[in-house]
Amino acid sequence: MAGDFNFKDQEELERRLLQLKIATNAGGKEHFNTQQAVDIKVNLRPDKAIKPAMFVPDPLLPGCYKAHPVTIAALRKNIFAAGNELFEDLEDLVTCEGCQQQIDRQFWYFCPFCEAKFKI
Report pLDDT for 11.
78
Residues of the chain with pLDDT under 50: 1-5
Report pLDDT for 106.
85
Report pLDDT for 1.
44
pLDDT tens string 106-115? 889 999 999 9
State the virtual CA torsion across 8, 9, 11, 13 in degrees, nearest 10.
170
Report pLDDT for 20.
74
Report pLDDT for 33.
64
